[in-house]
Amino acid sequence: MARDRDDQDYLGPLRRIGIAALVLVLAASFLVWRIDSTRVERFRNAFIDRFVPTFDWAMVPVTKALGIVEGFQSYARIVAQNQELRRELQQMKAWKEAAVQLEQQNAKLLAQNQVRLDPKLTSVSGVVLADSGSPFRQSVLLNVGSRDGVVDGWATMDGLGLVGRISGVGRATSRVVLLTDSSSRIPVTIQPSGQHAILTGDNTPFPLLDFLEHPEQVRPGDRVISSGDGGVFPASLLVGQVLQGQDRRLRVRLSADYERLDFLRVLRSHPAEQLRDAGPLIPPAPAEVAAEGGNG
């Protein structure tokens, strides 16, 4: 639809020519850009170098304002950061408390480690040669024997708990009957109730507790240690923890790792001193009496 404006009559074709010229110029500039990119880019850079800095006067206040805003934001951030740091400090305090407690516990344990139960209680270490375990006999063979002074009846431990009792000593080997063997009977004490009992092996991984006076005082989880009754076994060796089996009988979960019996310590136990007489009044030694008499 042609416009019937008076100036449109000659402007129309003129305008069309102008548009065509613009199109040509633009297409040519695109082609030049595509063909001789580097030169056009150089021109572009030069142009931007000229053009953009002329905006400086306008940019300065804007950038300044942005800087101020950023400054305030950073203040807000500092406040938030401060609070976060406080929270973290609180947590750190809790952790520090925990660390102090752990350190104390560690120190206690270390101190306990220094305790020698009995100065006479030294040990010979041996390597398990053969594990002659069967459903009927639970025993292992050690590579220490009478050559090393091992005597029948001594206790053997692994790193943690009681494993068994020497039963049969050769020159270079000895047999250890494990606590789980059905012929094993060990006198034990249950802590903290102090009940005495006999640990009876029955060829299961969890030996039975027999001859308990007050089974109701014993709870699952109580510590079981050797009692030393009878003078054969050294006292207060860790045996395990009380466990109530599915048949409601009290058993012991052994502390020693029966799955991996590699090195065993054979504890040298010496026969306890026997008190033979009824205990008369003990007179002072004659030498002391003489010394006192000399003074007086």
Residue numbers of the site for other proteins (CB under 8 A)? 1, 3-5, 15, 18-19, 22-23, 25-30, 32-34, 40, 44, 47-48, 51-52, 55, 58-59, 62-63, 66
Least CB distance to other proteins at residue 101 (A): 47
Q: Which is nearer to other proteins, 32 or 127 (CB)?
A: 32
Q: Which is nearer to other proteins, 21 or 107 (CB)?
A: 21
Least CB distance to other proteins at residue 26 (A): 4
Q: Which is nearer to other proteins, 52 or 289 (CB)?
A: 52
- Structure tokens, 1: 């639809």
Render the burial of 108-127: b for 16+ CB within 10 Å, e for the rest.
Answer: eeeeeeeeeeeeeeeebebe
Sequence letter at residue 155: A
Q: Which is nearer to other proteins, 65 or 99 (CB)?
A: 65
Cα end-to-end span (Å), the chain: 152
Q: Which is nearer to other proteins, 51 or 136 (CB)?
A: 51
Least CB distance to other proteins at residue 81 (A): 22
Question: What angle in degrees, to the nearest 10, is found between the helix axes of 8-35 and 37-51?
Answer: 110
Kind of pairing between the strands at 250-254 and 238-244: antiparallel
Helices (H), the chain: 8-35, 37-51, 56-114, 286-295
Least CB distance to other proteins at residue 37 (A): 9
The answer to whether residues 187 and 226 touch, using CB atoms and an 8 Å cutoff, is yes
